[in-house]
Structure 1
Amino acid sequence: MTSNEMQKGKTLQSRTAGWKHSVSVRYVLFALLIIMFYASLAPKLLPETYDIAVGLPSDKEILAPMDIPDTKATLKAQEEAAEKVGQVYTILPLRNEVLVGQMLDRIFRLNQDDQVSTEDKIKIYREELPQRAQDHIQNFIRNNRNSPNYSEKLFEEVNEQISEQAYHIAEETFIKIPRLTPEDINEMKPVAADIVARLTTDQIVDAQTARAKVAEQVSTSSLSKRVSREVVQELARLAITANKFYDEEATKAAKVEAREKTPTVFIKQGDVLVQKGEKITPEMYSLLEKNGLLKDEVNYWPQFGLIILSSLLALGLIMYIRQSEGVSRFKYNNSQFVMLLLIILITILSMHVVNIVQNEQRPYIGYIAPVAVGAMLITLLLDMSLAYICSILFSILASVILNVHKGQIFDFQFGFFAVVISFAAIFAIHRASQRSTLLKAGIMITLFGSLAVFTLILVNNNGWTESSTLYAIGFAVAGGLLTTILVIGLMPFFEVTFGILSALKLVELSNPNHPLLRKLLTETPGTYHHSVMVGNLSEAAAEAIGANGLLCRVGSYYHDIGKTKRPSYFIENQNNMENPHDFIDPKLSKSIIIAHARDGVEMQKDYKLPKPIRDIAEQHHGTTFLHYFYHKALKLAEEQGVEPDFTEEDFRYPGPKAQSKEAAIVGIADSVEAAVRSLRKPTVEQVETMIEKIIKSRLDDHQFNECDLTMRELDVIAQTLKETVMGIFHSRIEYPEEIKKAN
């Protein structure tokens, strides 16, 4: 392959991979995530709109999507409440006992005035006593006119009732009053005041009723003289008036208050607004219009609220991913975002499919929804911590999508069930190494799902019967089995489509019965042993720096598979035979050696091995230099006396350089294992020096420029490789103490 062809290949590869890290693509995916949440929640949270017209029959039954205020029914209820409010009466503290005392005081003074004749006194009493009764009422009105407790209408009613119920003293009483002595008046005064006070303590609407009791009160009093009793009786009747009056303003205020306190009448969510085939009246049309149920009069506020809700859910997920990238070894690209969106979409669709057959009479059908599918796939294909966050997200979606109860947005029971089975699934498979682990996870889901359902039934036992309880638990068990089936079926799709190497797939590829590994073992046993050793070394080094150790191990098993095409040209397979390179041109030797990486990639493509495994085989040598054959070619040219027609570049691997930490680690481990194997009696110092030399040589040759290995990680890799080599080759490596003893 020429340098131009290599450059074109790199350019094409760069363009192909460019979208995976494009910021604009990531914004598009974020928008798609919002749209996905919006579309999944809209059927449950947005009211349906209808295309109808006044006077035409409705082609479908229209149900209330929410509790809708019924204006007509509310007005009727308010009027009924107002009608139940009776007339309101106000009781006035008129203190009529004061009036009778004032009248007796006036009689006491006037009777002692000898300058006034009896006829004049009679005339004065005839005019003054009724007037005093009227003045007493007017004084009360005047003194309380500005009081907020009394209205002008009330005072008008008082004047009217007092005037209608006015008492007229008998004429003979005016004749008897001047005859009263001061002693008589002093005796009459407390008796009259007591009688009036006692009788006006009650609520009086009709004064005549109270006045009828005066005679009995007087007859049982301490008054001995007949004249005194008769005068007291008449004066008490005059003083007694009604004290309870109809209050028109208070009645109106009470009716207003009754209307205001009448609760709004609602059309309950799910109630029929319009029957199918029923003609649309103007009232119906107005009701639907006011509540945004017409296509021409859509209420955009619920849609706006759902957009905000969807954006918050998507933003929370994206913000977590961005934060986790700073502390986790896992780095997300747009390809993985697409896969995450597909997993979320599959989970949401599965919930909607279950909701189709679910209803308010059989809500327990929702427990069969395979909500844990998303959590399991994310754990296996992406990251465990992300799976926990998505489980919470799925529980929120499940509480809305699987909710069949009218009048509420979220159903706590399905949200709780979803988060329990998702967490149980994650815990069961976070270290999965075999496909059978998925079956165990399914059993965990059924157990914890059944327990969650049973717990919810115990907490809220309303409406649960023995049969519905068994159905609910049965659907939860079926949901666990369905989840396992879906995960097992979907895993290969995601692995192939997105080139994902899950831990399960890697374990499968590490099986020695794989055709390529069997070929490697039978045809090149030396290379097979070398690959196994490289796998041990690279896995330990990768795990020490937080890289994918399992990928390094499996990639090491296949990294030299290309040597099976010409096994005898590689030193680990040259047992008891001459080295073929001793008899051929060093340029040809170079071509044979370099070809094993390219041949390995082609063989892996034929067997459809995942790209990360092929990348390790292609990149583990990078663009390293074949020193031995280069110098052998120089020496041969010198012996032949000709100028070299080649350069150092012609004796380099075509690359590319390691693009990932795993490929770089396998390359280092490959060189370390080969170097240690070449030592007859390696010592600890030799191993340390050799490892440091290999890493420094590759570092100086810029082999790590295209992967994100740091200097600190290279130091950790060197230390780990040293410890692992000493563990593997313990019997061969001589320690300083052993060397001294040998000497």
Structure 2
Amino acid sequence: MNNEIRYQNKTIRYRLNGWKTSAAVRLLLYAALAALLSFAFFPKLVPPTYDLKPGSIADKTILAPRQEVDAAATLRAKDAAVQQVQPVYQVVGLNNEALVDTLFDKLNQINADAEVKFEDKVSIYRTVLPQIVADHHARSVKTFRSSGAYSDTLLEELDRTIADQAYRIPEEAFFKFPRLTKEDLAAMQPVARDIVTKLMYDELQQVQSARAKVAELVSTSNLTKALSRELVQEIIRVSLSPNKFIDTRGTEEARVKAREETKPVYVNKGDVLVKRGDLITEELYKRLEDMDLLKTQSNYWPQLGLVLLSGMMVTFLYMYHRRTKAHIHDTNTQLIMLGLIYVLNIAVMKIIAYGQTDIPYIGYLAPTAMGAMLITILFDGTLAFGSTIVFAIIASVMFNTDPALMFDFRYGLLTLVAGWAGIFTMQKASQRSSILKAGIVVALFSALAMLSLLLMNDHVAENEILLTLAYSFSGGLLTAVLVIGLVPFFEALFGILSPLKLVELSNPNHPLLRKLLTETPGTYHHSVMVGNLSEAAAEAVGANGLLCRVGSYYHDIGKTKRPSYFIENQTNIENPHDRIDPALSKSIIVAHARDGVEMLRDYKMPKAICDIAEQHHGTTLLHYFYHKAKQQAEGEGREVKEEEFRYPGPKAQTKEAAIVGIADSVEAAVRSLRNPTMEQIDTMVHKIIKSRLDDGQLSDCDLTLKELDTIAKTLNETLLGIFHSRIEYPNEGAS
């Protein structure tokens, strides 16, 4: 019946506590952690969207979430570049000096022919001279076209421009040309040629300006006859032509090149797209649409990227947790506690980040090392190292104020330095004052880290240096204050026994330990010995050695209610069990576990300590009183059941409780030996462990056979050191 009740209780307890090891719950917790990271990253890594329409008024200033080409501005820049391109002109040499020679050859030829009448000469000049000019230009164009030196469009422009600016010789000049003698023409030709050469040396887009200079140039020549001066001017003017022509094709090519070479105009990340109060024009609306900043759009790529980043980080954390000694992967309770530390650390960072808009450099005040120090105290340093990297990534995103960047490495570096400084300082901490010391170390290293960055920047103002150092140093002190306040909270909420709490409980001035020492000195000495043994054994198998030591100090506190009934306290007195019934003796002995738990709970002792006191005997049998009762019952014809002389349990549920139970039995058994030898100790240790194993006392904890073997070896070594002076070595003297 009792076995059935115990089985039912065990089943109910397993079902109630099943969530602690449930894989589904663990998956949900990691998903919640990924959601937490996404929440921390979201405002900085995912651009917000706005509910705007063309014609509406912007209720807030909108910044560009990324760098992107501004299509409208780029088009305007290209158009402006095209407008700035000047027309391309080509200077074309038309050999006008040869035209002058041709005209004088024709004048010499006609004037020298005496058979041609004056009136006929006038008529010939009226027709021939313009034709000579036209033919000269036509031949030049034909030559250029056949050589391919100039484009057709340029030659067409040349033809049109020369025709538009052609000079018409006055009618009266045709009546004067026949009067020129051979000598006159010979004197006029070099003058005309020189002046044409001189005037055509310039680039002439409008030839009229050059023709206006002819009279002045002729007046300075060596011609003395008025008729020669007058007619040479006409020959020069008709021989002049434009030589600079607009190149339509070249101009278009230059404009195309200018358009192509115009660099795109970018909207940089963080640039103001819309100011608060601006009217949303069609152009602004299109720009916001191109930037995926409108709620009407369904662009989920940033959110997908954020989910991938958070999922990747949580995956790495999961793999990292599986390889640490903190058993995070095995116990959902501890995973919840770790998640709560993440929540608190991110929340504090978030609060500080809100003040960045109003208070410059306040981000350096953030106690980013708080999470790392809490994890070091409540778990271990290895787990804290990995978490610090996560906190550094979060800080570099959360405190980033440069819109052009996604991460600000300064805050990431500060978090790494502060966190790792806190971890190294707290790993050997044994008092709560150590947290304050660690905070000072964190403050110093944080300030040094920021000072190193500031010294590498030559353009930092003095006030910026002072503020940065002040905030970073204060952040370390703030970290210590928060950790000191939060450690008791976690200890109470999760029943966690931090190393600091355990060290405090091991203080001999604790009321219960003073009571144990003064009222039951034998039990106190026994508890100290058990503490030494159990701590060494626990550390050998990776269990909590400090918990075993402190739990051993309190495991027999219940004996203070009836100290004289326990053999270690029976100094120079008669054993009271010799005079009472074995059943009553059994009741007194087994009661010390129950009494101890009640006393510990009255003093609000942590659950782990209470569990060790309650479970260290498990349901073991009190062999001495059982056999004594059995001998008495045989004479009376009664039957004594073994279950009546067992401890009520429960059996050890943790490695620590089981190790304390083994160490308790081993210490008591070895102490009963006179001058124990190494062989006796080894035999006794293995016998006790085997007995507990065969009796099923270790079935509810997760100690393996290999670990039990390690425990046995460690207990042997420790006992050898304790009883060294009393051990007799075979064939050797006492050493």
Alignment TM-score > 0.5, same fold = yes
* Corresponding residue to 1:640 among 625, 636, 642: 636
Paired residue secondary structure (2:246)? strand
Instruction: For 1:308, give the aligned amino acid.
Output: G
Query: Who is 2:24 aligned against?
Result: 24
Q: Is the 8 A contact 1:79 1:259 kept in 2?
A: no
Paired residue secondary structure (1:380)? helix
Q: Is the 8 A contact 2:557 2:596 kept in 1?
A: yes
Q: Is the 8 A contact 1:313 1:393 kept in 2?
A: no
Change (3 A) 1:504 1:75: closer
| Distance in 1 (alpha carbons) for counterparts of 2:433 and 2:615 | 33
- Percent identical among aligned pairs is 47
| Distance in 2 (alpha carbons) for counterparts of 1:436 and 1:326 | 31
Instruction: For 1:662, give the aligned amino acid.
Output: E
Instruction: For 2:295, give the aligned amino acid.
Output: E
Change (3 A) 1:580 1:42: same
Instruction: For 1:709, give the aligned amino acid.
Output: L
| Distance in 2 (alpha carbons) for counterparts of 1:198 and 1:239 | 11
Instruction: For 2:724, give the aligned amino acid.
Output: H
Change (3 A) 1:51 1:306: closer
Query: Who is 1:257 aligned against?
Result: 259
Change (3 A) 1:95 1:35: same
| Distance in 2 (alpha carbons) for counterparts of 1:721 and 1:79 | 85
1:33-44 alignment to 2 at 5 Å?
33-44=33-44
Query: Who is 1:131 aligned against?
Result: 135
Query: Who is 1:657 aligned against?
Result: 651
Q: Is the 8 A contact 1:330 1:383 kept in 2?
A: no
* Corresponding residue to 1:345 among 320, 323, 343: 343
Query: Who is 1:286 aligned against?
Result: 285
1:56 is displaced (CA, Å) by 7.0
Q: Is the 8 A contact 1:567 1:573 kept in 2?
A: yes
Query: Who is 1:391 aligned against?
Result: 388
Instruction: For 1:517, give the aligned amino acid.
Output: L
Q: 2:60 aligned with 1:62, yes or no? A: yes
1:251 is displaced (CA, Å) by 4.4
Query: Who is 1:85 aligned against?
Result: 83
Instruction: For 1:245, give the aligned amino acid.
Output: I
1:721 is displaced (CA, Å) by 1.4
1:269 is displaced (CA, Å) by 3.9
Query: Who is 2:719 aligned against?
Result: 725
1:408 is displaced (CA, Å) by 4.1
Query: Who is 1:334 aligned against?
Result: 332
Instruction: For 1:460, give the aligned amino acid.
Output: N
1:20 is displaced (CA, Å) by 1.6
1:350 is displaced (CA, Å) by 1.4
1:257 is displaced (CA, Å) by 0.9
Change (3 A) 1:17 1:262: closer
In the alignment, structure 2 segments of 5+ residues that lack a partner are 109-114, 219-227
| Distance in 1 (alpha carbons) for counterparts of 2:176 and 2:567 | 152
Q: Is the 8 A contact 1:64 1:267 kept in 2?
A: no
How far does the alpha carbon of each residue in 1:264-294 deviate from its partner, in whole angstroms, 9 at most, with x for none? Answer: 467964686133xx7x565598368637798
1:589 is displaced (CA, Å) by 3.2
1:249 is displaced (CA, Å) by 6.9
1:573 is displaced (CA, Å) by 1.9
1:488-499 alignment to 2 at 5 Å?
488-499=484-495
Instruction: For 1:482, give the aligned amino acid.
Output: L
Query: Who is 2:592 aligned against?
Result: 596
1:683 is displaced (CA, Å) by 1.0
Instruction: For 2:246, give the aligned amino acid.
Output: F
Q: TM-score, length-normalised on structure 1?
A: 0.80
Q: Is the 8 A contact 2:324 2:382 kept in 1?
A: no
Q: 2:431 aligned with 1:434, yes or no? A: yes
How far does the alpha carbon of each residue in 1:339-374 deviate from its partner, in whole angstroms, 9 at most, with x for none? Answer: 1221122122212222333336x3122222222211
Q: Is the 8 A contact 1:87 1:246 kept in 2?
A: no
Instruction: For 1:386, give the aligned amino acid.
Output: L
Query: Who is 2:554 aligned against?
Result: 558
1:680 is displaced (CA, Å) by 0.7
1:646 is displaced (CA, Å) by 1.5
Query: Who is 2:685 aligned against?
Result: 691
Q: Is the 8 A contact 2:82 2:259 kept in 1?
A: no
1:493 is displaced (CA, Å) by 0.7
| Distance in 1 (alpha carbons) for counterparts of 2:503 and 2:567 | 29
Instruction: For 2:618, give the aligned amino acid.
Output: G
Q: Is the 8 A contact 1:88 1:248 kept in 2?
A: no
| Distance in 1 (alpha carbons) for counterparts of 2:402 and 2:269 | 16
Which deviates more, 121-130 or 712-721?
Answer: 121-130
1:483 is displaced (CA, Å) by 1.6
Q: 2:575 aligned with 1:576, yes or no? A: no
Query: Who is 1:672 aligned against?
Result: 666
Paired residue secondary structure (1:423)? helix
1:447 is displaced (CA, Å) by 1.5
Q: TM-score, length-normalised on structure 2?
A: 0.81
Paired residue secondary structure (2:357)? coil
1:437 is displaced (CA, Å) by 0.1
Q: 2:535 aligned with 1:533, yes or no? A: no
Paired residue secondary structure (2:63)? coil
1:364-375 alignment to 2 at 5 Å?
364-375=361-372
1:698 is displaced (CA, Å) by 2.8
Q: 2:477 aligned with 1:476, yes or no? A: no
Calculate the aligned-residue CA RMSD, in Å.
5.1
1:126-275 alignment to 2 at 5 Å?
130-131=134-135, 133-138=137-142, 140-141=144-145, 144=148, 152=153, 154=154, 156-165=156-165, 205-206=205-206, 242-247=243-248, 250-251=251-252, 254=255, 257=259, 260-261=262-263, 263-264=265-266, 269=271, 273-275=275-277
Q: 2:603 aligned with 1:607, yes or no? A: yes
Paired residue secondary structure (2:726)? coil
1:214 is displaced (CA, Å) by 11
| Distance in 1 (alpha carbons) for counterparts of 2:15 and 2:606 | 20
| Distance in 1 (alpha carbons) for counterparts of 2:321 and 2:67 | 47
Change (3 A) 1:422 1:87: closer
Paired residue secondary structure (2:627)? helix
* Corresponding residue to 2:626 among 630, 647, 656: 630
| Distance in 2 (alpha carbons) for counterparts of 1:173 and 1:630 | 163
Instruction: For 2:519, give the aligned amino acid.
Output: E
Instruction: For 2:24, give the aligned amino acid.
Output: S
Q: 2:553 aligned with 1:549, yes or no? A: no
Instruction: For 1:573, give the aligned amino acid.
Output: N
Change (3 A) 1:259 1:682: closer
Q: Is the 8 A contact 2:582 2:629 kept in 1?
A: yes
1:292-303 alignment to 2 at 5 Å?
297-298=295-296, 301=299
| Distance in 1 (alpha carbons) for counterparts of 2:292 and 2:84 | 41
* Corresponding residue to 1:305 among 302, 305, 325: 302
Q: 2:47 aligned with 1:10, yes or no? A: no
1:532 is displaced (CA, Å) by 0.4
How far does the alpha carbon of each residue in 1:407-427 deviate from its partner, in whole angstroms, 9 at most, with x for none? Answer: 544333333322222222222
1:127 is displaced (CA, Å) by 5.8
1:94 is displaced (CA, Å) by 5.5
Paired residue secondary structure (1:274)? coil
How far does the alpha carbon of each residue in 1:536-555 deviate from its partner, in whole angstroms, 9 at most, with x for none? Answer: 11111222232221111111
Change (3 A) 1:386 1:678: same
Instruction: For 2:248, give the aligned amino acid.
Output: D
How many residue pairs get matched?
717
Q: Is the 8 A contact 1:94 1:140 kept in 2?
A: no
| Distance in 2 (alpha carbons) for counterparts of 1:538 and 1:174 | 139
1:638 is displaced (CA, Å) by 2.2
Instruction: For 2:135, give the aligned amino acid.
Output: Q
* Corresponding residue to 2:616 among 594, 613, 620: 620
